[in-house]
Structures are given as structure tokens and as C-alpha cells.
Amino acid sequence: MKKYLKLMRVRHYIKNFLIFLPLIFSGNLFNKYLFLVTCWGFLAFSLLASSIYIFNDLLDYENDKLHPKKKFRPIASGEISKGKAKILLVLLLLFSFLIIINLFHCHLINKSAFFESLIILIIYFLINIFYSLKIKHLPILDILFLALGFVLRVYFGGSLNSIEISSWLYLTVLSFSLYLVIGKRKGELEKNKNSRPVLKYYTVEYLDKFMYSFLTLTLVFYSLWCTSSKLDSYAVYSIFIIIFIVMKYSLNIESNQNEYLSDPVEVLLHDKILILAIIIYFGYMGGVLYGKYLGL
């Protein structure tokens, strides 16, 4: 079982918690009905993402065999046969769409939410298939396609429960996603420029400029969201926590000599201080958004 979970990249499900952002920031986290729908949506999106990871591993397993780290992946190492991997891919894809269909048939989501969320899943699947087949070798587009995946997660979470999301929040997620993706490319280029073909088109200076430009935009958009939305005035003080988080993250990818720790998930999972800062942020925002429910 462990090898199949490794193939599915379960540890990367952490990125899918973006699906909960619309529910959290709309003040509906304690709505049991909406929370249940979001949990099922999280599972559907995660299964879909796993099917894409498997597709990518099937596509690249020959190259992965020659890679010092990727050679230990289940397909490249021979732990799981290509035939079994293909069966698992189809099953995950099938269950992902069945979950959304079942939510609709059980009247947990309305017709509009059903079609919208289903379309987002299809778009996410297609852009990732295109990414694996071609886009990952094309400069700039490789970055934009990856960043789009983060935005679609948030949009998916909003669509499931018909929650309108602030434009400032979307822009915050988009700019932060671009910051993360460019930071990953920058780390790969600095620590192992042969790790992927597209890196030959980039320079550290080029990526560095855009990385911190998008970081600046992230802080600006987030500040505008805090001040222009219907949030409590205390929300603006969360900016200090966000500044610490992005500064700590930047320090990690700038100073770490391990090429694999340029990946956002790996950076987070290997830094207890960063994890604690994120917990403090959501704890604080939880108090701002739900203090009245908690008697604060």
C-alpha cells in the first residue's frame, strides 16, 4: 500500500487545501453542509491530481531511471508495473468525477455548481496533460500553466459552494503562485541546471527579478484584500505574519543547497518554523473571522 501512496504523491495533497480558502474566508467554515461538500471536493481534486502524477511518471519513467532522486519512484524503480499504474490512473480519474456526480445526485450541490466544478476538473486535467506532453519544455508557459493550477484550486472551492471570491484574493493567489513556481525553477537552475530541459532558457537573474516582483504584488494584493473586503479591521495586522512567512520561505530556497527543497511542498514539510507560522496565521485569521462564534 505504501508504494501506491507514494505513486499517488499523497504528501502533495497539501496544495489542495487551497480548495478550503473560499469556505474559510467567506466565514462559512462552521457550516456543516458546506464543509462536507468541500471535503468531498478536496478528495475528488486530490484523486484527479494523483492520476496526473501517475500519467507523468508513466511518460518519464525512462528518464527517471537515470535521475539520482527520481529513480526511486515506484514505476522507475520497478516496484509497480506500468500496467498496474495505468489501471490505478483510470480508477482514480473515474472516482474523482463520480464524487462530483454523486454530490449532484444527492442534491448536495446545485446544477450550476455541478457543471462549474466539473468543468474546472476537466480543465485542470487537460492543462496538466498538455503540460506533461509539451508545455513543460516551453519557457514561460511552463511557469504560467503550473501557477494556473493553484488558481483553479481556489476557483474550484468557490464553485462547489457557489461562494463569490474577492478579485483581490484571486490576484493574491495568482501572484503568490507565480512567486512559488518561479522560486522552484530558480532553485532548480541554481542547484542542478540539468534537472529539466526548459532550464536552459532561463537565467538566475531573469527568474530572480520576476520572483520578487510577484512577491511584491502578493503583499500588495493581500493588503488590498484585507482593507477593501468585509473583513474585520483586525485582519490588516495579519500582513505582518504573511511578511514573515514569505521572508522565511525565501530564505529557505535561497540558502538551501538541496535541489529538491526548492519544491514548495518540500520546503514547507522540512521547516517546522514555517509550519508554525502558517498555523499562527490561520489561528489569527480564525479569530478575526469566527471570533463571534467562539465568544471572543
Grid coordinates given for 56: 507523468
| CATH class assigned to 1-163 | mainly alpha
Distance between start and end Cα atoms, the chain: 44
Q: What is the pLDDT of residue 100?
A: 96
pTM of the predicted structure, to 2 decimals = 0.92
Burial readout 99-135 (b: 16 or more C-beta within 10 A, e: otherwise): bbeebbeeebbeeebbebbbebbeebbebbbebbeeb
Give the pLDDT of residue 294. 61
Instruction: Please give the distance of CA 61 from its chain centroid, rounded to a whole number.
Output: 24
- Residue 98 has a pLDDT of 97
Give residue 190's pLDDT: 83
Helix ranges (DSSP H) in the chain: 2-7, 21-25, 32-64, 74-77, 82-105, 111-133, 141-160, 167-191, 204-228, 238-255, 264-269, 272-294
Q: What pLDDT was estimated at residue 256? A: 62
**Dist. CA 241–CA 277, nearest whole Å:** 7
- Residues belonging to the chain: 296
Domain spans of the chain? 1-163, 166-296
Helix (H, G, I), strand (E, B) or coil at 165: coil
Q: Give dist(CA 156, CA 158) in Å, integer.
A: 5
pLDDT at 192: 75
- pLDDT block averages, 10 residues each, the chain of length 296: 89 94 92 95 97 92 74 84 93 97 94 96 96 94 96 96 91 96 90 82 94 96 86 87 95 70 82 95 91 63
Residue 78: the pLDDT is: 82
